[in-house]
Structure 1
Amino acid sequence: MDPNHVSGPEPDPARSAGHPDPPERVGFFTDTSVCIGCKACEVACKEWNAIPDDGMQLSGMSYDNTQGLGASTWRHVAFIEQKVPEPEGRTQLSLLDTTRTTDPSREQPGDMRWLMSSDVCKHCTHAACLDVCPTGSLFRTEFGTVVVQEDICNGCGYCVPACPYGVIEQRPHDGRAFKCTMCYDRLGAGQEPACAKACPTQSIQFGPLDELRERAALRVDQLHEQGVEKAHLYGHDPQDGVGGDGAFFLLLDQPEVYGLPPDPVVTTRDLPAMWKHAGAAALSLAGGIALAFTLTSRSKGGR
């Protein structure tokens, strides 16, 4: 097994965070094969969470008018232009086919295509942002999700480099960190997140995480049977470097094409060992000082 991977049974992050009787863990399954790039999820997210606009500038990435995930964009749909690879890459649908019925024979190697990537915070099982937050602003909810409390955040920024996906960002005017909450307020009221509610193609699916994983595996099998050979899941494996994501994806190309790290690892994985070594070093130092003091005292007493 990869030494970066988390071994053992899958933990219950909500229970581990101190919730004694948490409900079933929920999450997102984003099927990029049926995303049409309408950005309804982005709009719904901003509207429900009262997120300010972030300039709406054309990014240079095709017709994408948002730069990426950040403090003021908690859902981001990227338009990724590429040539259809040879030959196993005949996997993506025409952008104009809004029904998204997969037919690998419709595209030929060398044709231009768009891969749609609706990205979001991964709500990691082992979340490094939680480990490094000094104020408790970041916390694990009873649903297993990770939320930032903006009124407690002191703007230290430790969570920004800790995230292996580069999701968290600070707003420039006050330095506080923001990211997707998976609409925590809606979950508490028994509603699904705004982005999933607004998605017209069910590209964004919300529900119990175990059920979503089963559904996603069946979808990959279906695509493989239809000749979509490169279809695969990303972030679904509880044995990966972050213990599995609470928001995972079906991709039609390598993760790097979508701007995702190929093998993400929780950045604080070595903290327990580091504290253990630091403690051992401190005890050794204290012992050395005590021994030196004792020898010095004996030396003086023998004069």
Structure 2
Amino acid sequence: MPHANALYGPLDPAPDAGYVDAPPRMGFFTDTSVCIGCKACEVACKEWNGVPQSGLDLLGMSYDNTGALTANSWRHVAFVEQPRPSGSSPAAAARMSGGPEFLGMPGAQPPGRGTGVEERTDFRWLMMSDVCKHCTHAACLDVCPTGSLFRTEFGTVVVQEDICNGCGYCISACPYGVIDQRKDDGRAWKCTLCYDRLGAGQTPACAQACPTESIQYGPLDELRERAAARVEVLHERGVPEARLYGHDPNDGVGGDGAFFLLLDEPEVYGLPPDPVVTTRDLPAMWKRAGLAAMTMAVATAVAFLGRRQ
């Protein structure tokens, strides 16, 4: 069995899973600073993977009609409207509302510019396309009793729905709450990082469809370098809130295969601030259980022999 419970420190999960001459680990870098909330990624994911429609469900005072990652939503674009961060100047807030133009991408004009409408600087939109993190240390792999979940040669984690028995263990094991069961059959479903496309040398459908390159796909090491440079650029441009999430190989899941550039705390986007692989204590638990069983067996044998005497 792969050393999926070995925590902290760099790990290349494909070779650890037994792949010989594995290709570079592939993944996603999602730059939320240039996400425009168009949901092209959601649509592309559904179309390519044949994911059922989620239905139109407007969630209160929000433009978000999916709400979360589910068995029928493998990409979820979150919309967060919030007041201007305390301590930031109106000018900085105006820059933050400038969208792709300010943040280094061609395209949209900031709201109100050139329209005669006064720009608002008292709030900002935060948008993020969320997805399965394809963890380095994936608890879902540890608990799956049928082998339905497996590690690919690209380091990603995929569900083979044809051998999923619907036990749901992976759902409770995921520290991000990503995996979900489909109501009609009970099987588990999630993002595959378009495994079929990767094998053909193609870009995953969501990244291919993203018009602002908010979702970037490639070798994970290259994406991490690109993301670090991006954060430096944003800091230089007066966006001190920019930070990376899920990129650190020394975090509680050994780093994610899909990581993010955020403009606020992870909790604002519905992400756990300090995720930890939920099966980290399994080896120690099994060891303690084994010792307890051995002790009980010895005690029983001694008691039995004592009675015979």
TM over 0.5, shorter chain: yes
Alpha-carbon RMSD across the aligned residues, in angstroms, is 2.2
> Superposition pairs for residues 222-261 of structure 1, below 5 Å?
222-261=233-272
The CA deviation at 1:220 is 0.3
Correspondence for 2:148: 137
Contact 1:84–1:108 (Cα < 8 Å) also in 2: no
Q: TM-score, normalised by structure 1?
A: 0.91
Q: Give the fraction of aligned pairs with identical amino acids, expressed as a percent.
A: 72
Q: TM-score, normalised by structure 2?
A: 0.90
Correspondence for 1:6: 7
The CA deviation at 1:180 is 0.1
| Residue type of the alignment partner of 2:31 | D
Q: Secondary structure at the match of 1:62?
A: coil
Correspondence for 2:101: 99
Q: Which range moved further: 55-64 or 85-94?
A: 85-94
The CA deviation at 1:112 is 1.8
Correspondence for 2:50: 50
- Structure 1 stretches lacking a partner, 5+ long: 299-303
Mark the CA change 1:88 to 1:112 in structure 2 (over 3 Å): closer, same or farther.
closer
Correspondence for 1:210: 221
Mark the CA change 1:84 to 1:208 in structure 2 (over 3 Å): closer, same or farther.
same
| Residue type of the alignment partner of 1:6 | L
> Superposition pairs for residues 85-124 of structure 1, below 5 Å?
85-88=85-88, 90=92, 93-94=96-97, 97-101=99-103, 111-124=122-135
Contact 1:169–1:177 (Cα < 8 Å) also in 2: yes
Return structure 1 stretches of 4+ with deviation > 2 angstroms: 5-8, 88-95, 97-102, 106-110
Aligned match for 1:186, one of 182, 197, 217: 197
Contact 1:13–1:144 (Cα < 8 Å) also in 2: yes
Query: How far apart are the structure 2 equivalents of 1:246 and 1:100?
Result: 28
Query: How far apart are the structure 1 equivalents of 2:294 and 2:40?
Result: 57
Contact 1:135–1:154 (Cα < 8 Å) also in 2: yes
Contact 2:8–2:253 (Cα < 8 Å) also in 1: no
The CA deviation at 1:297 is 1.6
Could you give the per-residue CA deviations for residues 87-113 of structure 1, whole angstroms, max 9, x where no partner exists?
Answer: 148467327x453536xxx99997121
Query: How far apart are the structure 2 equivalents of 1:155 and 1:100?
Result: 47
Query: How far apart are the structure 2 equivalents of 1:278 and 1:258?
Result: 39
| Residue type of the alignment partner of 2:198 | L
Could you give the per-residue CA deviations for residues 101-159 of structure 1, whole angstroms, max 9, x where no partner exists?
Answer: 36xxx999971211001100000000011111100000000000000001000111111
Q: Secondary structure at the match of 1:151?
A: helix
Contact 1:69–1:119 (Cα < 8 Å) also in 2: yes
Query: How far apart are the structure 2 equivalents of 1:146 and 1:15?
Result: 14
| Paired residues, number | 291
| Residue type of the alignment partner of 1:27 | G
> Superposition pairs for residues 9-20 of structure 1, below 5 Å?
10-20=10-20
| Residue type of the alignment partner of 1:93 | M
Query: How far apart are the structure 2 equivalents of 1:129 and 1:239?
Result: 19
> Superposition pairs for residues 140-219 of structure 1, below 5 Å?
140-219=151-230
Query: How far apart are the structure 2 equivalents of 1:190 and 1:174?
Result: 32
- Confirm or deny that 1:292 pairs with 2:303: yes
Contact 2:69–2:131 (Cα < 8 Å) also in 1: yes
Query: How far apart are the structure 1 equivalents of 2:301 and 2:178?
Result: 48
Query: How far apart are the structure 2 equivalents of 1:243 and 1:61?
Result: 36
Query: How far apart are the structure 2 equivalents of 1:13 and 1:283?
Result: 34
Correspondence for 2:78: 78
